[in-house]
Amino acid sequence: MNMNKDHHWKEPVHSLKKNFVTDQIFWENEVQANQLVLHSLVACLIVLGFFWVFALSGVFDIDRSLISMFFLPASVSLVIPAVVCNLVKGSKRWVKYVMMAAVIIAAAFIDRVMTFNVPLLIIIPVVLSCRYYSGAFTVLTAMATSVAFFVSSWIGALRVIGSPDMNFVAESSSEYLKNIMLQSFLPKWMLFLVVAGVCFEIARCGRNMVLNQDKITKFNTRVETELELANKIQSQALPPLGTLSEETNQRVELAARMIPAKEVGGDFYDFIELDENHLALMIADVADKGIAAALYMMMAKSVLENRLMTTPSPAQVLEKVNAQLFDKKLKGMFVTVWLGILDMRNGELVMASAGHEYPALKRNGSDSFELLRDKHGFVLGGLKSVKYTESKITLNEGDILFVYTDGVPEANNISQEQFGTDRMLRSLDSHCSGTMNDMILKVKEDVDVFADEAPQFDDTTMLAVKILKHGEVPEAKQQPDGAVLTHKHGEIPEAEQQTVIAKLTLKPELPEIERAQQWLLPLEAHENLSDKQCKKIAICVDEILNNIIQYSGAQTIELEFTPGPKDISVVIRDDGKPFNPLELDAPDTSIPLKQRKAGGLGVMITRKFMSRTDYSYENGRNIFAASLIREE
């Protein structure tokens, strides 16, 4: 990687692409500069008009015979380029040369006729030229101006034409020429060079400024694109509501929403069907906002989810995740979490809170929401070892539970007044008759109306659950193997923990393999498997999933992990077309690589690595089972 970067930096600066982009920027600038010069031409014309009037009316002491002779060509030389520039809208490369030449010629003409009145005239072209942010153009202008004024002075000194400078009158004409060139032109020209030098420097600085500006703009665009992408990933990391099973939807109504204050947020909600009867609900708020919070959120979320798969007790989950997050040694980062596991058979909700806001509860029949002051533990990731306590309530049919992050009660209006939990509860009261989704949207509306013009300061996340009815899943719908987590929450005897069966449902997409591997890690760690054994299982799962995803046409895949006393079993079920991988002919490994056909290797690796592999096809599903004997 580093090598690549170095290489990148050493790329020649003058590569074609770069030049093209730079040219583009400076071309835009040049068109603007042309506008400025055009306006200056017009301004010069107006001033010239005044001079003309003053000269004719005798305010200026100028030889009348010279007036039209010089003012007319000067005006023409200004008018023509002005008109031309206007016609092409300043968007031709040659426009700047034409206009600058016109300004120089006009200035030289005027200088000849108003020798004493206009000493500043000589610096006008070069001052204008620095607006083009090109050192070369400024130098060119300075040189052209020098030549033009030199010629103009010389002609004046020869007394060929124009008004002579009486300050330097001499006996002979050669003396006069010497006086004019040395005493009049030379000092003026030397001062002009100073101004030209300054203009050159301004042009160079302007050029660098434009380049830096461009760099910053590009950087901003990149950051914006990346944030947009991050936002997309983050919102996709939140579980979509449509994925809940039909049985769950019949028993609870769920709605949730996360509105980040910046592009990405540190809040999240989550709900996971642990099995057909248990629904885990979670809401969390990472301290701080923005990218750091979002990254921490993604980490906390996956750690929490993984732990939840193996540990069906909210307090234990929080304890273990706290230790894990603390170990990351990210000082000052922490997350508040409210976690509940709902038994949909009887409405029993076991919950634990790590410094999170109190949930709001509305009992069926009651008019109003009230805060549920459950026991609070310390935030996750702050202290090494924290104990959390669980509280248990029963949610009856029609009850609504609402959890949220501080973005709701702590929303500020312009006069720094907070929305507050009371307003939140009243808002909930007035909107709870509709669907849960409507309720959440209306609460957010109320918050927005209250906040008025004040910008959303914190991420705002809400999750609402309404109990529709209690009840078991009909027998026929239950998995043949029984519940995933076969324990009552919070009371798992140590010995029994050994036989927890964990199950994961996967979509038929390749990235899901990675998710399966991540899911396996804590399970394997829990079983004290050796690194080698973990890898063997990982390879086996990888190969089988890969086959199913790429060839079987399955819609869903289930992965089961069952640690037995003597061996570890992995079972993979899919609803794709029937296919027994074990019937595949093993490739002949004695054939040189070049002559081999691809395929069959994966299954062979699986068979050789695992102690036992079985295949069966039941109820429209392929069932592939593999087990690995524990090491002594």
Partner 1 sequence: MNIKKERKDNSLVVFFDGRLDAIGSPEAEAQLVPELTGITSLGLDFSKVDYVSSAGLRLLLYLDQIMEEQGEMYLTNVPEIVKEIFDVTGFLEYVKIV
Residue ranges that bind partner 1, judged by CB under 8 A:
1-4, 510-511, 513-514, 531-532, 535-536, 538-539, 542-543, 546, 549-550, 587-594, 596, 598, 601-602, 604-605, 608-609
* Shorter beta-carbon distance to partner 1: residue 216 or 582: 582
Strands (E) located in 287-369: 335-343, 348-354, 360-362
* Shorter beta-carbon distance to partner 1: residue 380 or 534: 534
* Shorter beta-carbon distance to partner 1: residue 210 or 295: 295
b or e along 484-511 (b: 16 or more beta carbons within 10 Å of the residue's beta carbon)? bbeeebbebeeeeeeebbbbbebebeee
**Backbone torsions φ then ψ of 330, nearest 5 degrees:** -100, 90
* Shorter beta-carbon distance to partner 1: residue 272 or 539: 539
**Least distance CB 123 / partner 1 (angstroms):** 56
Q: List the beta bridge partners of residue 340.
A: 281, 351
Beta carbons of 153 and 180 less than 8 angstroms apart: yes
* Shorter beta-carbon distance to partner 1: residue 365 or 592: 592
Three-state DSSP state, 352: strand
Beta carbons of 471 and 251 less than 8 angstroms apart: yes
* Shorter beta-carbon distance to partner 1: residue 119 or 587: 587
Q: List the beta bridge partners of residue 462.
A: 257, 404
**Least distance CB 589 / partner 1 (angstroms):** 3
* Shorter beta-carbon distance to partner 1: residue 32 or 546: 546
Question: Residue with structure tokens 């330097």?
Answer: 168
What Rg do the C-alpha atoms of the chain give, in angstroms?
41
**Least distance CB 577 / partner 1 (angstroms):** 20
**Least distance CB 301 / partner 1 (angstroms):** 21
Beta carbons of 114 and 60 less than 8 angstroms apart: yes
CA distance 568 to 529: 9
**Least distance CB 507 / partner 1 (angstroms):** 15
Q: List the beta bridge partners of residue 255.
A: 464
* Shorter beta-carbon distance to partner 1: residue 24 or 550: 550
CA distance 55 to 66: 10
CA distance 91 to 35: 10
**Least distance CB 539 / partner 1 (angstroms):** 5
Beta carbons of 485 and 274 less than 8 angstroms apart: yes
**HEC letters along 402-443:** EEECCCCCCCECCCCCECHHHHHHHHHHHHCCCCHHHHHHHH
* Shorter beta-carbon distance to partner 1: residue 159 or 515: 515
Q: Which residues are CB-neighbours of 123 under 8 A, at least 6 positions away?
A: 192, 195, 196
**Least distance CB 585 / partner 1 (angstroms):** 14
**Least distance CB 441 / partner 1 (angstroms):** 38
* Shorter beta-carbon distance to partner 1: residue 394 or 530: 530
Beta carbons of 71 and 63 less than 8 angstroms apart: no
* Shorter beta-carbon distance to partner 1: residue 2 or 619: 2
Which conformational region is residue 267 in: left (phi greater than 0), alpha (psi within -120 to 50 degrees), or beta? beta
Which of these, 530, 527, 511, 602, lies nearest to 561 by C-alpha position? Answer: 527
Which of these, 610, 611, 552, 618, lies nearest to 581 by C-alpha position? Answer: 552
**Least distance CB 603 / partner 1 (angstroms):** 8
Q: List the beta bridge partners of residue 613.
A: 626
**Least distance CB 291 / partner 1 (angstroms):** 21
**Least distance CB 563 / partner 1 (angstroms):** 21
**Least distance CB 264 / partner 1 (angstroms):** 24
DSSP string, 468-514: ----PPPGGGS-TT--SS-S-TT---TGGGGG--EEEEE-SSTHHHH
Beta carbons of 39 and 86 less than 8 angstroms apart: no
Which of these, 358, 303, 357, lies nearest to 330 by C-alpha position? Answer: 303
* Shorter beta-carbon distance to partner 1: residue 437 or 517: 517
Would you say how long the chain is, in residues? 632
**Least distance CB 587 / partner 1 (angstroms):** 8
**Least distance CB 535 / partner 1 (angstroms):** 5
* Shorter beta-carbon distance to partner 1: residue 215 or 608: 608
* Shorter beta-carbon distance to partner 1: residue 57 or 590: 590
